[in-house]
C-alpha cells in the first residue's frame, strides 16, 4: 500500500471552533509559539478534490486524512450534519480515485468546548471522545478502510505539557502524566464504542523515536538509557492499549544517540528543522515493534526540505529500511509519506516544507509537484525502489 498523509487542521483552513485556532489568534505578545496563525492554511477544505487528483497522478493507492472533532461536534452533544456530510464527500472523492482511506479521528486539535472543560486533564474526557468516535464510526464506516483514533498521544503530552510548544503551552509534568493516561483510556473506550457499528480495523498512531548508542564512544549505561527511552516513549503506552488494537500506525522522524549519558546526535544529515536524518532508526523501530504481532503501517515519514535536495535520497533510504525490516519478519503493510502537500507545521507555522507538492503561498496556493513527487510516483507505480 503506497500513499501520502495529511491532517485536517494543517491543510483545511479556518478551523475556527478548535482550541488551536483560538490559541493562534489570541496569542499574547510575550508568548513565542506559534509563530503565526493557520488562517486559510492550504484551503483543502474546499480543494480536496484537487489534492486527491495529485494522489492519483502520483500512483498512490492510499491516503491518510483526519476529520475535525471541532467541526463535527462544535457544541457538546450537537453533531453537525452539514460537516458530517462534507467529510462523506471528501471520503467519497478519495474512493472515486481508487484510494484506500486511513481516517484519523484526533490529530492534536480539540473543540473549544472540550478544552474549556479541562480537556484531556479531566477523567470524563474519555466519555466525550468515545461518543464522538462512535458517531464517526457509524457515519463514515462505509467510506473508510482504516480508522485511527488518536495521533501521537506522547507528542500531545511532551509538546503540550512539558516543552510548551503545542497547545495548551504548559510546563506541568503532573498534568502531562494525567493527560497521557486519559488519552489511552480514551482510545480504549473509543475502540469498544466504535466496534458496535463498524468492522473496519481500528488502530492508534505512535510517534516512535529510536534510541541508539555510539559503537565507539558510548558507555555501558547508555545502552540501558536507550532501552528506558524506548520503553517510556513507546512500550509503556502500548501496555495500556495493545488489547484494543487491530493494527499499529507508526510515525517515524527521530533517532537519538546517547554518549556518556548525554544525547549527542550526529550532524552529518539534517533537514531544514535540524532534525537528524537516520533511516536505520526506522528499521530498528519496526523491529522493536515486531514483538506485538500486529500489522503495521508507516503512517508518517518525511522531512522539511524546501529545496527538495534531500527528499529523494530520504525516501530511498527509508524505504530500504522498511524492506530490511520486512525481510526480518516485520508485518509491515503500507507506507504513507508525510506529506502530500506543504502545510501548517503547528507551532513553527508555514516555513517548514514537508510536501511532495509545494504550496505557493504567494500565488493563490497553487499546487506545484516537486521532483521528489515524480520519483515517489515511479516507486508507487512499480512497487519497488
Q: So what's the pLDDT on residue 325?
A: 98
- The separation between the first and the last C-alpha atoms of the chain, rounded to the nearest angstrom, is 14
The string of pLDDT tens digits covering residues 180-237 is 999 999 999 999 999 999 999 999 999 999 999 999 999 999 999 999 999 999 999 9
* pLDDT mean over 92-116: 98
Contact 274, 320 (CB under 8 A): no
- Model-wide pTM > 0.75: yes
Nearest to 186 by CA among 149, 155, 148: 149
Q: Is the pLDDT of residue 41 over 90?
A: yes
Please report the pLDDT score of residue 140 as a whole number: 98
Q: What is the pLDDT of residues 133-171, one digit of tens each?
A: 999 999 999 999 999 999 999 999 999 999 999 999 999
Answer CATH for 2-382 from 3.40.50.2300, 2.60.40.1930, 3.20.20.80, 3.90.1150.200? 3.20.20.80
* Residue pLDDT, tens place only, 275-300: 999 999 999 999 999 999 999 999 99
Distances from the Cα of 3 to the Cα of 313, 339, 363, angstroms = 18, 10, 27
**In this model, does residue 267 exceed pLDDT 90?**
no
Domain extent listing, the chain? 2-382
Whether residue 304 contacts residue 350, with contact meaning beta carbons closer than 8 Å, is answered with no
- Under a CB-based contact definition with an 8 Å cutoff, are residues 243 and 202 in contact? no
Q: Which three cell numbers stand for residue 149?
A: 483514533
Amino acid at each position: 500500500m503506497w500513499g501520502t498523509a495529511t491532517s485536517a487542521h494543517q491543510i483545511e483552513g479556518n478551523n475556527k471552533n478548535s482550541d488551536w485556532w483560538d490559541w493562534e489568534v489570541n496569542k499574547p505578545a510575550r508568548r513565542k509559539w506559534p509563530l503565526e496563525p493557520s488562517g486559510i492554511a492550504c484551503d483543502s477544505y474546499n480543494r480536496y478534490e484537487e489534492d486527491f487528483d495529485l494522489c492519483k497522478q502520483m500512483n498512490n493507492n492510499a491516503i491518510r486524512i483526519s476529520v475535525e472533532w471541532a467541526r463535527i461536534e462544535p457544541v457538546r452533544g450537537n453533531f453537525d450534519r452539514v460537516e458530517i456530510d462534507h467529510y462523506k464527500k471528501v471520503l467519497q472523492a478519495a474512493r472515486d480515485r481508487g484510494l484506500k482511506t486511513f481516517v484519523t479521528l484526533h490529530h492534536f486539535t480539540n473543540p473549544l468546548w472540550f478544552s474549556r472543560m479541562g480537556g484531556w486533564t479531566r477523567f470524563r474526557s474519555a466519555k466525550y471522545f468515545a461518543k464522538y468516535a462512535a458517531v464517526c464510526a457509524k457515519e463514515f464506516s462505509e467510506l473508510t478502510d482504516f480508522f485511527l483514533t488518536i495521533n501521537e498521544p506522547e507528542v500531545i503530552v511532551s509538546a503540550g505539557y512539558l516543552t510548551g510548544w503545542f497547545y495548551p503551552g504548559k510546563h506541568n509534568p503532573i498534568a502531562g502524566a494525567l493527560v497521557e493516561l486519559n488519552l489511552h483510556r480514551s482510545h480504549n473506550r473509543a475502540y469498544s464504542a466504535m466496534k458496535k457499528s463498524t468492522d473496519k480495523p481500528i488502530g492508534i498512531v505512535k510517534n516512535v523515536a529510536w534510541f541508539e548508542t555510539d559503537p565507539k564512544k558510548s558507555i555501558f549505561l547508555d545502552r540501558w538509557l536507550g532501552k528506558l527511552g524506548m520503553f517510556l516513549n513507546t512500550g509503556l503506552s502500548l501496555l495500556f492499549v495493545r488489547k484494543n488494537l487491530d493494527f499499529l500506525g507508526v510515525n517515524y522522524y527521530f533517532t537519538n544517540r546517547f554518549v556518556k549519558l548525554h544525547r549527542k546526535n550526529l550532524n552529518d544529515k539534517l533537514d531544514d528543522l535540524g532534525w537528524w536524518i537516520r533511516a536505520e532508526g526506522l528499521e530498528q523501530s519496526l523491529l522493536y515493534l515486531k514483538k506485538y504481532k500486529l500489522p503495521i503501517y508507516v503512517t508518517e515519514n518525511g522531512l522539511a526540505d524546501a529545496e527538495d535536495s534531500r527528499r529523494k535520497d530520504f525516501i530511498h533510504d527509508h524505504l530500504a529500511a522498511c524492506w530490511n525490516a520486512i525481510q526480518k519478519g516485520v508485518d509491515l503493510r503500507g507506507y504513507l509519506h508525510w506529506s502530500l502537500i506543504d502545510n501548517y507545521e503547528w507551532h513553527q507555522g508555514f516555513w517548514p516544507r514537508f510536501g511532495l507538492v509545494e504550496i505557493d503561498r504567494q500565488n493563490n496556493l497553487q499546487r506545484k509537484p516537486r521532483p521528489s513527487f515524480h520519483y515517489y510516483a515511479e516507486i508507487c507505480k512499480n512497487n519497488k525502489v
